[in-house]
Amino acid sequence: MTGRGLAVVLLLVLARLAGAACTTLPAGCGVADNDGDGCPDLCDVCPVDPDPDQADADGDGVGDACDLCPGIEDHPTGMVHRAKLSALLPPAGDDRLDLLDVRDLEGAIIHPEQEALEIRLADHDGEIVRLSLDPAVAGPYWVRRGGGLRETWRWRPPSPAGASGIKALKLTRKGDLFAFKAKARALDLSAADADHLGVTLRVGDDCWSAFAPICSPLGGGKNLVCRR
């Protein structure tokens, strides 16, 4: 197992040990608490969603408050390499997700052309936006290339209007690693704050989460850039 893999496993173990309401904290939890629920981020099962009870029905280290797969164990947490949210000033509804680049996820066999897909963005105040694709509508616009140890799926619809505003998606599996990129427009991202960003992806029964600890407003609040 790589050093990163050991770190991921350790964080999951710490999260599970944290327990209800973080009343008994193991060593190494730190003090940073971005969502202000009383549980430090390193031991918080939902570090960007306030959940003082730390409920985690499936015991996968991802709490019920932020789990898109609440009855199934999630894959280990990855990292938001970079995200850019644009046109955030009023009026609402014309905001854009110019880039969402998530890496270092655990690989899995998926079939996005046949399965429902969701992308959720959240911060310490809760959900910012949730984007979804219905395979009955989105299926024909997926293009798959490769096979074996490396596969890439690209999705680009004729119009983002019928796809939660999603403009483009790219999912890549390379050996044991998985990554995805997304762009979207005509959104309401006004709930986004300049503190941090949590991302969850669901494809069928597979769920991944990622976190960007640093977000910076640019252009007088017009744009927000988040990174690892």
pLDDT number for residue 18: 41
Asked whether the beta carbons of 26 and 14 are under 8 A apart, the reply is: yes
Same structural domain, 45 and 79: no
Same structural domain, 8 and 87: no
Is residue 2 classed exposed, middle or buried when 0-12, 13-18 and 19+ CB atoms within 10 A define those classes?
exposed
Same structural domain, 135 and 214: yes
Q: Which residues pair with 77 in a beta bridge?
A: none
How far is 53 from 31, CA to CA, in rounded Å? 18
pLDDT number for residue 1: 42
Residue type present at position 123: D
Q: What is the DSSP string of 53-102?
A: T---TT-SSS-TTT-SSTTSPPPPPEEEEEEEEE--SSSTT-EEEEEEEE
Same structural domain, 63 and 32: yes
Neighbours of 201 (CB within 10 A): 25
pTM for the model stands at 0.78
Q: Give the number of domains in the chain.
A: 2
Same structural domain, 205 and 95: yes
φ, ψ of residue 226 in degrees (nearest 5):
-120, 145
Same structural domain, 49 and 160: no
Asked whether the beta carbons of 206 and 69 are under 8 A apart, the reply is: yes
Instruction: Show which of 13, 43, 67 is a domain's final residue.
Output: 67
pLDDT number for residue 34: 79
Same structural domain, 203 and 119: yes
Find the angle CA(20)-CA(25)-CA(26) to the nearest 5 degrees. Answer: 130
Query: Please, which residues have CB within 8 angstroms of residue 150's CB and are 6 or more apart in sequence?
Result: 172, 173, 174, 175
9, 120, 134 from 3: Cα distances, Å: 10, 28, 37
Asked whether the beta carbons of 79 and 103 are under 8 A apart, the reply is: yes
Largest CA distance in the chain: 52
Same structural domain, 108 and 10: no
Instruction: Show which of 47, 67, 87 is a domain's final residue.
Output: 67
Same structural domain, 1 and 104: no
Q: Per this entry, what is the length of the chain?
A: 228
Parallel, antiparallel, or unpaired for β 150-155 and 214-218? Answer: unpaired
Same structural domain, 112 and 179: yes
How far is 192 from 216, CA to CA, in rounded Å? 11
| Residue 210 domain boundaries | 75-227
Same structural domain, 27 and 56: yes
Same structural domain, 104 and 138: yes
Which residues does the chain have with pLDDT short of 50? 1-20
pLDDT number for residue 19: 43
